[in-house]
Amino acid sequence: MSNVITLDENAESLVKIRDLHFQRGSKQIFRGIEMDLPRGQITTIMGPSGTGKTTLLKLIGGQLKPAKGSIEVDGQNVPKLSRSALYALRKRMGMLFQSGALLTDLTVFDNVAFPVREHTDLPESLVRHLVLMRLHAVGLRGARDLYPAELSGGMARRVALARALILDPTMIMYDEPFTGQDPISMGVLLDLIKTVNSALGLTSIIVSHDLHESMSISDYVVIVSDGVVVEAGTPEALRASESPWVQQFLQGKSDGPVPFQLEAPDYRDDLLGAKHG
């Protein structure tokens, strides 16, 4: 296909998305998205709020089914997989949810140990080592006995990251990992994502609004808007792009081809109408 945005000609793709259509209610979220995400690299997906970036991660993870199109992960077409095959594939995927999605009735330690206890028969002493190592990596070894309700949003996301990494997945999807992090945690987190990606040969897909942070560690960036891929390439290529769309987005200008306002009736009419109504 000629219009597919392939990020790296030489790299093998782990995720191949073709002609993806998805709608929620009457709103068309994706209108034929096509992309190849290279194995072993960090790819960031960006775009204005409400463009369906989180939805895209859920489609890749098989939590939502597309109206049309295919999503191949490691050669398997996710929407067509049987329940057992999908669960087998998910054992090799990690996902960091925006909210953390920690189990509230378990402590931090048990939350991180949860996937290991569910999927392996490792002795408890080994589980303890694994959990403490992952918690140490995210700086929260000291929080092992706390419950999720006692953590801040940023801490909860770091615990969730430790949990997502514990089974050494092939691919990991991060949904807004940098939100709510203080500058120190942010630096450690960026390092961690970069290090695990290169050391473990992971493929990382990041959805983020934190432009500078995510571009600093990404090998590739894909910008999605209005249901299609607008631009894709290395961070340097995007910075050098002459597209007014990309420049507006990267520089955060309110004026440009991307409307700041969601589609609405004329402002003046709306206010006057409210006065009379």
Q: Does 24 bind other proteins (CB under 8 A)?
A: no
Q: Does 79 bind other proteins (CB under 8 A)?
A: no
**CA 192 centroid distance within chain:** 16
Q: Which helix (H) or strand (E) holds 5?
A: strand 5-6
- Out of 3, 10, 49, 104, the residue judged to bind other proteins by CB under 8 A: 104
| Residue placing its CB nearer to other proteins in the complex, 116 or 190 | 116
Q: How far apart are CA 91 and CA 6, in angstroms?
A: 26
| Residue placing its CB nearer to other proteins in the complex, 113 or 238 | 113
Its sign, for the CA torsion 267, 269, 271, 274, is negative
Q: Does 15 bind other proteins (CB under 8 A)?
A: no
Q: What is the gyration radius of the CA atoms in the chain, in angstroms?
A: 20
CB of 249 to other proteins, least distance (A): 27
CB of 104 to other proteins, least distance (A): 7
Q: What x/- string results for residues 33 through 62 when contact with other proteins is judged by CB under 8 A?
A: -------------------------x--x-
| Residue placing its CB nearer to other proteins in the complex, 16 or 163 | 163
- Out of 24, 91, 136, 253, the residue judged to bind other proteins by CB under 8 A: 91
Q: Does 147 bind other proteins (CB under 8 A)?
A: no
- Out of 27, 87, 120, 168, the residue judged to bind other proteins by CB under 8 A: 87
129-138 own/partner pairs: CB under 8 Å, 24+ apart:
130/166, 131/162, 131/166, 134/162, 134/163, 134/165, 134/166, 135/108, 135/109, 135/159, 135/162, 137/162, 137/165, 137/192, 138/162, 138/188, 138/189, 138/192
CB 229 within 8 A of CB 222: yes
Q: Does 118 bind other proteins (CB under 8 A)?
A: yes
CB atoms within 10 A of CB 55: 18
- Out of 115, 139, 180, 256, the residue judged to bind other proteins by CB under 8 A: 115
* # binding residues, other proteins (CB under 8 A): 24
